[in-house]
């Protein structure tokens, strides 16, 4: 390979990759929060228009409880990710906080998509409903950028464990 094609410093490719992992992991967390908010909004629209037993699905206590939990968790995730973005901009985002954001938000994306799919009932599996794609797409989030188990290892080690 010609020297002109070299990015970074020779023989330090892995180190260069490691330097950008916090930003990559934060970008995964940002995408997860966006997906969470989107599937939640779509589900809210669905449960207010879909009826069962002559009432909107969203009027049932279980539906309200599930949506209240998901909305609260989405707000918490958005707040933490916004703080991580501020830290990234300030040059203070740590690998540990990026790992926390990636793990928590991608895990929440999976749980949110799963619970929203449940609120759609059998329709949730049909490709015509966006929740079906959201549910399928959520699964990979806990794998790329480092698995969530690796994120927990990073966090655990930072605690002296």
Q: pLDDT tens string for the chain (161 positions)?
A: 687 887 778 877 766 666 789 999 999 999 999 999 999 999 999 999 999 999 999 999 999 999 999 999 999 999 999 999 999 999 999 999 999 999 999 999 999 999 999 999 999 999 999 999 999 999 999 999 999 999 999 999 999 98
Residue 55's DSSP bridge partners are 52
User: Would you tell me the crossing angle of helices 61-90 and 13-49 to the nearest 10 degrees?
Assistant: 150
User: Distance (Å, rounded) from C-alpha 128 to C-alpha 116?
Assistant: 15
Catalytic residue among 24, 73, 83, 149: 24
pLDDT for the residue 25: 97
pLDDT for the residue 16: 64
Q: Is 24 a catalytic residue?
A: yes
54's enclosing H/E stretch is none
Three-state DSSP class for 7?
coil
In this structure, what token pair is assigned to residue 156? 């655990």
User: Distance (Å, rounded) from C-alpha 51 to C-alpha 57?
Assistant: 5
DSSP calls for 30-63: HHHHHHHHHHHHHHHHHHHH-EETTEEGGGSHHH
What is the value of pTM for the model shown? Answer: 0.90
């Amino acid at each position: 390979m010609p020297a002109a094609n070299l990015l970074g410093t020779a023989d330090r490719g892995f180190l260069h990759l490691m330097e950008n992992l916090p930003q990559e992991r934060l970008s995964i967390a940002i995408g997860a929060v966006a997906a969470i908010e989107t599937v939640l909004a779509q589900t809210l629209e669905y449960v207010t228009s879909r009826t069962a037993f002559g009432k909107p699905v969203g009027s049932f206590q279980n539906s309200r409880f599930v949506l209240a939990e998901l909305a609260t968790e989405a707000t918490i995730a958005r707040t933490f990710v916004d703080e991580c973005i501020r830290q990234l901009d300030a040059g203070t985002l740590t690998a540990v906080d990026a790992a926390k954001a990636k793990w928590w938000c991608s895990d929440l994306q999976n749980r949110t998509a799963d619970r929203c799919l449940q609120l759609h009932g059998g329709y949730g599996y049909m490709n015509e409903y966006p929740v079906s794609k959201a549910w399928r797409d959520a699964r990979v989030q806990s794998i790329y950028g480092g698995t969530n188990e690796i994120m927990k290892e990073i966090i655990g080690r930072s605690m002296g464990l």
